[in-house]
């Protein structure tokens, strides 16, 4: 029979159905590296503090490293009766080193232990995500450079609005993903806080050195309040929130790729390797990858809401409800990393159809605002100029023409301020390149933005994805 740490208090064994219901080993077994690494750091600190003997510490560390090797070589036996990864490691350690294993848990609880494991895991995966986003952002910039000069319609309300450079459109996503990266970098500061030494909730009577443990684990700070350290999961919530925002950006980009791949838009050709066909319609080429990314956003949003809901009504400190924190966390980490990887691989292979995009700018009165700006330059107030152009658009619609297809005589019926110079102002390249305000779509501005992004990426310091 497998003994539990609390057997001394109970007169009867735990019901097997309860063991199965309360077990989390199927989920938290992936924390084994963090659990063992945290235990090794704790063990060494106990020895340096004189709480256990150096020889005992050596035996414990050797045993823990053996367990790590057994798990990694798929030779470790998991059992629901032992509930979680902490109890599995402790039980196996006792089999390897004997009674000295019982000293490892001195001055700690599973409450601060699981908080440490989660922080170590999330720190590693967040650093990995920052590196992945760096590669994605580089792919976006590369696409903007490779397709520089392509003009396409910009949209509001899904209606053609004004012409923009495709590179300008792509660089909008560079800015979004850069802010996502910044959010994850910032979150790392609040993830890398050592809770170990908080014990169950009140701290410990032993003269431990929490700074020692933190230093071994690469954590700059220790948690300032033992109750807060074991009771809150806001570092997870912050990560899930940043991941959800990032998935919004992925979903929007995916939606555009899906639309642009349709026959109605025909702006892009997705690579065959990133598309699938139909089981019944031989002609189909489906944009499954961007569709799935768009769909997976909902999973990440759900993970955030799930953990928010779990935490919102819990009194201090630890409650067993918090066992449910890891499933949404792992789900989001896996989903987000998968989406970043696949988009980074797919984006460089998307073919943008230059002539189709440019032709789309020639209808829909995308130069109407520029005609209004032209009239403002002639002295008309903008609101009056807006009304003049609106009447000109209505007339052009009745004639089945665009503004630049009307004759000078027709245009002058709407305003005597119009002369031949208007036609140059309505040219699509002029419309694009006159937008030289900071952040605008003019070629000079977009070229400068790309150069700035290239320099930013080259100068970024990427975090190491070390593991304990």
Average pLDDT of the residues in 51-67:
98
Is pLDDT of 184 > 50? yes
pLDDT at 280: 87
In the chain, which residues fall in CATH 1.20.200.10? 111-201+225-355
* 278 catalytic per annotation: yes
- Say if residues 105 and 64 touch (Cβ distance below 8 Å): no
| Cα–Cα dist 101/88, whole Å | 12
The secondary structure of 325-370 as a DSSP string is GHHHHHHHHHHHHHHHHHHHHHGGGPEE-HHHHHHHTTSS-TTHHH
The pLDDT of residue 58: 98
Whether 24 shows a pLDDT value over 60: the answer reads: yes
Fold of the domain spanning 360-444: Ribonucleotide Reductase Protein R1; domain 1 (1.10.40)
Residue limits of CATH 1.10.275.10 in the chain: 7-106
pLDDT score at 191: 98
**Which residue ranges does the chain devote to CATH 1.10.40.30?**
360-444
pLDDT given at position 81: 86
**Active-site residue, selected from the candidate residues 186, 278, 363, 467:** 278
Does the annotation count 157 as an active-site position?
yes
CA distance 197 to 250: 40
CATH of domain 7-106: 1.10.275.10
Q: Read off the pLDDT band of 1 (50, 70, 90).
A: very low
Tell whether the model's pLDDT for residue 383 goes beyond 50: yes
Global confidence as pTM = 0.93
- CA separation for the pair 318, 239 (Å, rounded): 20
pLDDT, tens digit, 9 for 90 and up, residues 267-302: 999 999 999 888 888 888 999 999 999 999 999 999
157, 407, 437, 461: the catalytic one is 157
pLDDT of the residue at 390: 97
Which architecture characterizes domain 111-201+225-355 according to CATH? Answer: Up-down Bundle (1.20)
Beta carbons within 10 angstroms of residue 207's beta carbon: 9
């Amino acid at each position: 029979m497998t003994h539990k740490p609390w057997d001394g208090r109970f007169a009867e064994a735990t019901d097997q159905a309860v063991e199965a219901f309360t077990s989390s080993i199927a989920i938290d077994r992936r924390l084994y590296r963090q659990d063992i690494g945290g235990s090794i750091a704790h063990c060494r600190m106990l020895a340096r503090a004189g709480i256990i003997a150096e020889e005992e510490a050596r035996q414990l560390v050797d045993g823990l490293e053996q367990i790590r090797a057994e798990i990694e070589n798929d030779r470790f036996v998991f059992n629901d009766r032992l509930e979680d990864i902490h109890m599995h490691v402790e039980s196996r350690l006792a089999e390897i080193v004997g009674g000295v294993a019982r000293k490892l848990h001195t001055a700690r609880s599973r409450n601060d232990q699981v908080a440490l494991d989660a922080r170590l895991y999330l720190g590693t995966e967040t650093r990995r995500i920052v590196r992945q986003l760096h590669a994605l952002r580089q792919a976006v910039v590369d696409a903007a450079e490779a397709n520089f000069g392509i003009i396409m319609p910009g949209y509001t309300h899904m209606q053609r609005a004004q012409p923009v450079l495709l590179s300008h459109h792509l660089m909008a996503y560079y800015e979004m993903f850069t802010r996502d990266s910044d959010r994850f970098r910032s979150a790392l500061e609040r993830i890398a806080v050592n809770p170990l030494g908080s014990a169950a909730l009140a701290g410990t009577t032993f003269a431990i050195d929490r700074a020692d443990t933190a230093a071994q684990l690469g954590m700059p700070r220790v948690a300032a309040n033992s109750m807060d350290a074991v009771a809150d999961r806001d570092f997870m919530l912050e990560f899930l929130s940043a991941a959800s925002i990032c998935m919004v950006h992925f979903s929007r980009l995916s939606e555009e790729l899906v639309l642009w791949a349709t026959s109605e838009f025909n702006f892009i050709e997705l690579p065959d390797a990133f598309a699938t066909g139909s089981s019944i319609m031989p002609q189909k080429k489906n944009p499954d990858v961007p569709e799935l990314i768009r769909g997976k956003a909902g999973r990440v949003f759900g993970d955030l809401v799930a953990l928010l809901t779990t935490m919102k009504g819990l009194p201090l400190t630890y409650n067993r409800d918090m066992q449910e924190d890891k499933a949404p966390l792992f789900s989001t980490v896996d989903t987000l990393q998968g989406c970043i990887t696949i988009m980074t691989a797919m984006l460089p292979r998307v073919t943008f159809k230059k002539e189709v995009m440019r032709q789309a700018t020639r209808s829909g009165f995308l130069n109407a605002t520029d005609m209004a700006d032209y009239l403002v330059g002639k002295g008309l107030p903008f609101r009056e100029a807006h009304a003049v152009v609106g009447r000109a658009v209505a007339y052009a619609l009745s004639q089945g023409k665009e503004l630049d297809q009307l004759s000078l005589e027709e245009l002058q019926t709407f305003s005597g301020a119009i002369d031949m110079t208007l036609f140059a102002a309505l040219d699509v390249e002029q419309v694009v390149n006159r937008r030289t305000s900071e952040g605008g779509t003019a070629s000079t501005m977009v070229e400068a933005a790309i150069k700035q992004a290239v320099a930013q990426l080259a100068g970024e310091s990427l975090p190491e994805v070390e593991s304990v």
